[in-house]
Each structure stands twice: as C-alpha cells, then as structure tokens.
Amino acid sequence: MSSWNHVSRIWLIVTETPTLNAPQKQAIFRPEVYEVNTVQQAMSVTVTAEAGTSTEERWEKETAFLLEDIGRHLELDQETCVLDYGCGVGRLSKALIDEYGCRVVGVDASKSMRLLAPEYVLSERFTVWSPDVLAKMVAKGFRVQRALCLWVLQHVLDPAEVVQLIGSALSDGGLLYALNQLTRCVPTNLGYVNDGKDVEAELDKRFDILNRSSLPAEVTTPQIAQASRLAVMRKPEAPAE
C-alpha cells in the first residue's frame, strides 16, 4: 500500500497533447504537499481557496451541506462506525461525530494530518490510521458498514489501489459516499497535473451506483459545483458459494 517514501519515486506521464517526436514531459509525484505544521495550514491545503471563495467559506458552507447529505444517505447513528478515507485534519469526521454520535476511523497518508487530526476532532470516538495500518487491519478482519472519501481520489497516485482498499474495508452491502473532482489533479513537481486516470471507472468496477450528482452551486461556487462529482455507492453482496 502507498506510503509517501515509496510512491514519491514513481514517475507520472503528464497528459499534454503529444506532438510527433516531441518527448513527453514527466512529473514526479509530490504528495508532501499534504505535510503541514498546524491545523490552520491543514485546512488551507485540504480545502483550498479557489476563485470566488476562501478556505473558511468552503469549510463552513460545504461542510454543512456534506454533513446533512452524508447523514441522509448513510443513515448514521451511535452504533455506526464510519471509515473516513483521506480524512485530512478530520473536517467531516468531527462534524459527523458531533452531529450523529457515530464512531469514525480516519485514514490519511500524511503523517502530519494524522498527528493533527485528533487535536482538531477532539473525540474519543475518533481513531486515525495510515493506509498501511488500514490494510493490515482489513487483513485481520476489520470491516465497516459505511465509508466516505471526500476530495481524495483525484489526488492519489493509484486510484485503482485506493478504491480496492476502501472496498476491502467495507462489508458486503456497505455504503460508500464519495466526492471528487471530475478531472484528476495529482500533486507533482510541475504543479497539479491530470494523468488521465479514470476514477469513476474504478468506482464503477467495484460498486453499484445508487446516486450520482454534484455539489449544489448554492454551497460552493458554480465552477467548483460543475467540476465536482458526488456518488453514493453500495458494495455488491458476494455471490453465495
């Protein structure tokens, strides 16, 4: 499973319109962009200021929408344990625990996010693991009925691997709520690049899609709404042997 040291040596092909005989540009994966020193910095790199909006405004309005929408689709209560894959500093983990009283296992590849998240979430109902620990726990039988993955899959080096890991942590029939940008946006030494990988196709391979929409423009900017894709999915039941 990915850890920063391992993946940072892998090269990406940047998808630019190739001209005959012109060498393709290559970019080096730079996930260290998610290593931060403070909660404030974590907020700024995970929910970025964009044209027409700020980190603070997105944090407030988008989080309020997601809290309600996730609660409605995933039907959370005190008995539920939710996997928040790519939890960052725990924006939704905290909101979900405070509102629904559920338990949350946050997973993030950034060590500093994992160190800062408990400080931000401030709840005994929150635990945070690295992707490697999640994979080991899954191998030992750890499963959840509910998972979310918000603004993560467009940034990971290998979406197929991450979708597989999330799927392996869900019980059969379990629900996944995902929010992504429609185009890939991978952090590299050349800035954020689109490597052309198809996140939706990876999700379609492993999940039944129950609902597909985008963020409503009222809770963000028209540009972010248009570039977003929300999906609620179910992990299919394993066929009876």
In the bound complex, what is the minimum distance in angstroms from residue 107's beta carbon to ligand SAM?
A: 6
- β-pairing, 126-129 vs 144-150, is unpaired
Residue nearest to ligand SAM (CB): 88
Kindly tell me the number of DSSP H helices and DSSP E strands found in the chain. 9, 11
- β-pairing, 26-28 vs 11-13, is antiparallel
Three-class secondary structure assignment of 44-100: HHHCCCECCECHHHHHHHHHHHHHHHHHHHHCCCCCCEEEEECCCCCHHHHHHHHHH
In the bound complex, what is the minimum distance in angstroms from residue 154's beta carbon to ligand SAM?
A: 8
In the bound complex, what is the minimum distance in angstroms from residue 169's beta carbon to ligand SAM?
A: 12
Nearer Cβ to ligand SAM, position 64 or 237?
A: 64
Residue 13, both tokens:
């092909």
Nearer Cβ to ligand SAM, position 97 or 156?
A: 156
- β-pairing, 191-193 vs 186-188, is antiparallel
Nearer Cβ to ligand SAM, position 145 or 154?
A: 154
Q: Which of 230, 224, 219, 229 is nearest to 62 (CA)?
A: 219
Q: Which of 140, 121, 112 is nearest to 4 (CA)?
A: 112
Nearer Cβ to ligand SAM, position 150 or 224?
A: 150
Nearer Cβ to ligand SAM, position 100 or 107?
A: 107
Rounded CA gap, 30 and 210, in Å?
34
- Kind and range of the H or E element at 127? strand 126-129
Interacting residues toward ligand SAM by CB under 6 A: 2, 31, 34, 46-47, 86-88, 91, 107-110, 113, 131, 150-152, 155-156, 162
In the bound complex, what is the minimum distance in angstroms from residue 209's beta carbon to ligand SAM?
A: 20
In the bound complex, what is the minimum distance in angstroms from residue 211's beta carbon to ligand SAM?
A: 19
In the bound complex, what is the minimum distance in angstroms from residue 140's beta carbon to ligand SAM?
A: 19
Place of tokens 């092909």: 13
Nearer Cβ to ligand SAM, position 174 or 215?
A: 215
Residues in the chain: 241
Nearer Cβ to ligand SAM, position 145 or 228?
A: 228
In the bound complex, what is the minimum distance in angstroms from residue 79's beta carbon to ligand SAM?
A: 23
